[in-house]
A = this chain, B = another copy of it.
């Protein structure tokens, strides 16, 4: 199923949508958090006056099951150049994800005025990177890896052999099903698509996202995107990670940070 299909919304009333979480976009039967945020981003783009999400901040309350969900959107402010919206994703009357979003209109012709540059050592073409398998070492299904083509550079794949590098970063590439192009909504998935960068520190179980903030900075060129996922601090059973997403031309198109739970520290 295409990304557009698995994030499709049915409008039920003003600011009220239903959607269906796909069982195929899951890790051990839990939907990916960026995939859920992309649904909220799509709803925000339909309700506000502006089509493109540029900032999204989500707090994850409880993990929904695959299946039907309800999405509510409330416009907080509509300006000339941006709309600000509050959204929530509910299942069986329970709020699962709450997010604040800002939408605007991204200009296909804009260019960077100033760029600090690539903070990552990654540089291999996608074909030289290793595709992540659809099963964890402990045998859990990572169904989403049968949908997307997610490849990690060999230089940060120590964890796959039980020998993490200790550097706490992962870099590589991501392509959508059938090589579909990325847009601001699917970039909200891209910022949470990679395995936890903590895999390159120490093996753990699930690293559930508590908070995820993403900025979409430009419309990406057609093709896959390059991603760097990097941990900064593990303390008190929580870890933060930064994420950078570049399009195939090397242009920085999205950035994110997240705070997640981890069974370390």
Contacts and interface: CB of A to CB of B under 8 A. Distances in A.
Interface of A: 54-55, 57-59, 61-62, 76-77, 82, 84, 86, 95, 98-102, 106-107, 110-116, 168, 201-202, 210-211, 213, 215, 217-218, 230-236, 238, 240, 242, 252, 255, 257, 259, 264-265
Contact of A201 (B102, B114, B231, B255): B114
A236 B100 contact: no
Contacts of A99: 100
Given A113-B265, A116-B168, A255-B240, A218 B235 contact: yes
27 contacts: A54-B238, A55-B59, A55-B210, A55-B211, A55-B259, A57-B59, A57-B100, A57-B211, A59-B100, A61-B84, A76-B95, A76-B98, A77-B95, A82-B210, A84-B98, A110-B265, A111-B235, A113-B264, A114-B168, A116-B233, A213-B257, A217-B236, A218-B236, A232-B255, A233-B255, A255-B257, A257-B257
A116 B200 CA distance: 12
A119 to B, nearest CB: 8
Nearest to A99: B100
Nearest to A94: B77
Contacts of A232: 115-116, 252, 255
Given A55-B59, A110-B235, 5 more contacts: A55-B259, A99-B100, A110-B265, A113-B265, A114-B264
List the 9 closest pairs (A to B, CB-CB), nearest first. A113-B265, A57-B57, A213-B213, A55-B211, A114-B234, A113-B234, A61-B77, A59-B100, A110-B236
A59 B255 contact: no
A54 B210 CA distance: 10
A100 B85 CA distance: 13
B217 A238 contact: yes
A98 B116 CA distance: 30
Contacts of A59: 55, 57, 76, 84, 100-102
